[in-house]
Amino acid sequence: MTEKNNNEEETTDDTEQDVVTPPEAPQPEVVNIDYKDKWMRAQADYQNLVKETAERRSQLVKMSEWQIIEEFLPVYDNFKKAFAAEPGDLSDAAKNWIKGIEYIKKQFGDVLTAHNITDIETVGKAFDPERHEVLSEEDGDGEPGTIIREVGAGYMMGDKVLKVAQVIVVKDNE
């Protein structure tokens, strides 16, 4: 009988060990706060994504505008160079044709101005390596490094240089 009692005791000990008490259920307020916190984080992430997407889109628009304008600048330069050399005696028809082409050049300049494109000032200004490219140096009046002639126009879009101006500067005689 002792053996039997020992077996019964072992089974009761085993059953007591197998009983698992359930964990305490979370309080409703704690669960709601957790959900609200996650919801607020998701909202903030979404707003950040919207802002980031808008910034990227704006950058892409500026880059494409920049590229298109860079392609048109040589054409505008050629218009300006063509009108810099005025021919001699012309018929009235040729003069009217030139006025029409000048008007097209003016429209072109107005479009560039509307896109915040400005000419880089050159003649009489001091050389600025960020805005000017020296093609040669010549003897001339003024301090060394002063620009005496513009060979190729330069352009800026806002505060960024689109194309540096090609210039000739006063030679340093030392």
Average confidence (pLDDT) per 10 residues, the chain, 174 residues = 51 54 64 81 93 93 85 86 77 84 88 89 89 88 85 89 90 74
Handedness of CA 9, 10, 13, 19 (dihedral sign): negative
User: Would you say 140 and 173 are in contact if contact means Cβ atoms under 8 Å apart?
Assistant: no
Q: Tell how strand 132-138 and strand 165-170 pair up.
A: parallel
> What's the domain range around 128?
118-174
CA distances from 74 to 79, 121, 145 (A): 9, 17, 26
Q: Tell how strand 155-157 and strand 147-152 pair up.
A: unpaired
| 108 plus 122 within the same structural domain | no
| 35 plus 71 within the same structural domain | yes
Q: Is residue 41 part of a domain?
A: yes
What is the model's pTM? 0.60
CA distances from 103 to 43, 46, 87, 106 (A): 54, 50, 18, 5
Helices (H) and strands (E) in the chain, counts: 3, 6
CA 120-123-127 angle, to 5 degrees, is 70
| 111 plus 127 within the same structural domain | no
Residue 24, phi then psi, degrees to nearest 5: -70, 135
**How many domains is the chain partitioned into structurally?**
2
| 35 plus 100 within the same structural domain | yes
| 63 plus 36 within the same structural domain | yes
Residue 135, phi then psi, degrees to nearest 5: -95, -35
Q: Is residue 75 part of a domain?
A: yes
Residue 109 to residue 114: CA distance in whole angstroms: 9
Residue 76 to residue 105: CA distance in whole angstroms: 7
pLDDT (0 to 100) of residue 46? 93
Coil, helix or strand at residue 48: helix
| 47 plus 65 within the same structural domain | yes
